[in-house]
Amino acid sequence: MGGGPGRRGRLRGAMRVPREQLRALGLVAPLLIFIGVTFIAALATMLMRSVHDPVVADALPETVALLRGWDGERLPAEAVYETAARELSRAGEERTIGQVAGRVNRVQGGLRSVFTRTARDLEDEAPDPAAATGTPWRDALIALDTAWADPATWHAIRTTGERFTSRNYLNAVDMDRLPDGTIARQPEERRIYLRLFWRTLLVSGAITILCLLLGYPIAHLIARAPPRRAALLLVLVLVPFWTSLLVRTTSWIVLLQTQGVINDILVAIGLVSDDGRLAMIYSMTGTLIAMTHVLLPFMVLPLYSVMRGIPPQHMSAAASLGATPLQAFLRVYWPQSLPGVGAGALLVFILSIGFYITPALVGGSDGQLISNMIAYHMQTSLNWGLAGALGGILLVGVLALYMVYDRLVGVERMGLH
């Protein structure tokens, strides 16, 4: 990927031959369409979901409109109750009530059943407006469930009724909007995501450093070995790379667990007692070990491809000019291998930020990362909006890192060729 004037010249030449350009476009079109449909469109949809949620606004449009004029403290007016009763009952018939109930339940736990039950009951026993005086609909709803006498319920409808919302992003950084409109931190026991983002960054950084420390000498060894031995060593790096992630993770469980191979050996040679077996897995240690192993090839391969291009004579030349081996390494070899370091580190770091199977299996209680929460919201809680917001923050974070890297090292110097 070398830059320079020659390349630019060639590009300008290509502009003058649109037919060739068209043909090139035709050749890459299948890939572009594929990426557009499976990646860009999917990404855009998820990001859209994180700010756009029309379910409540579509199901209870008039109620939401009326609540805009509500002060948020006293109970809403009779008209609001009447409209809400009518729209809830309709949502029950149209079977959209479940989705509405799920949305408000995220703001106020316990409301799911209040909404589904109220919708069901309203079909059977609507109040007779002619017979009643005062506030028949308010009384009727409160009689069905006392939650309708709680302003928090109405706040939940108003909040979830916004078509375009910042709620998911607020929740993703452990904040929430209070009934009076101010933004505040979540109560202590519900603060989770910032901690997980931070931990994910720390773990990814630690794994990147571990991979670099372990991978650099290996890559150097392979680059300098005679061809036949280099091929053999390369295969040793590639075989785990080609092996299923699940297989490798579970192998680590077999090795590291309390009754596992490593502990058995340590006990057999008398290093630890049978009662004092080491707990190396189902903790952060397990996550670090297994993920470092899984990601090591992503560090070794770019390093190797860059190191192979560094002429061995450079080191000899440095030595002949009087440099000690350390000086020669620091001032001659290391700077030349930097593009490989950058590429490997960026690959490993970005991959480990999104890792989730390995921490889920060997992570224990303190080894969970942010991607485990995203998977949870995608698969179990069905809160795709929040999953989209968490993913969006992660995406922005990775792009920011990439830009920082570009500033510091320069993307065109990255050894990804």
The C-alpha angle with vertex 171 and arms to 191 and 392, in degrees rounded to 5, equals 115
| Nearer residue to another protein within complex by CB, 80 or 280 | 280
Tokens 């030595």 identify what position?
319
- Cα–Cα distances (Å) from 196 to 15, 145, 286, 362, 366, in that order, read 49, 38, 17, 17, 10
| Nearer residue to another protein within complex by CB, 59 or 218 | 59
Give me 241's structure tokens. 């790379």
Rounded distance, CA 393 to CA 266, Å? 44
Nearest distance in Å: CB 97, another protein: 6
| Nearer residue to another protein within complex by CB, 259 or 313 | 259
Nearest distance in Å: CB 248, another protein: 17
| Nearer residue to another protein within complex by CB, 107 or 332 | 107
Nearest distance in Å: CB 101, another protein: 6
| Nearer residue to another protein within complex by CB, 292 or 368 | 368
List contacts with another protein (CB under 8 A): 94-99, 101-102, 105-106, 109-113, 116, 189-192, 195-196, 199, 257-260, 282, 360-361, 364-366, 368, 373, 376, 378-383
Residue 250 CB contacts under 8 Å (≥ 6 apart), including other chains? 361
Q: Are 224 and 345 a contacting pair, CB within 8 Å? A: no
Tokens 């502009």 identify what position?
15
Nearest distance in Å: CB 114, another protein: 8
Nearest distance in Å: CB 291, another protein: 17
| Nearer residue to another protein within complex by CB, 224 or 248 | 248
Nearest distance in Å: CB 108, another protein: 9
| Nearer residue to another protein within complex by CB, 134 or 187 | 187
Nearest distance in Å: CB 54, another protein: 10
| Nearer residue to another protein within complex by CB, 297 or 385 | 385
- Cα–Cα distances (Å) from 376 to 236, 370, 372, in that order, read 35, 10, 6
Nearest distance in Å: CB 382, another protein: 6
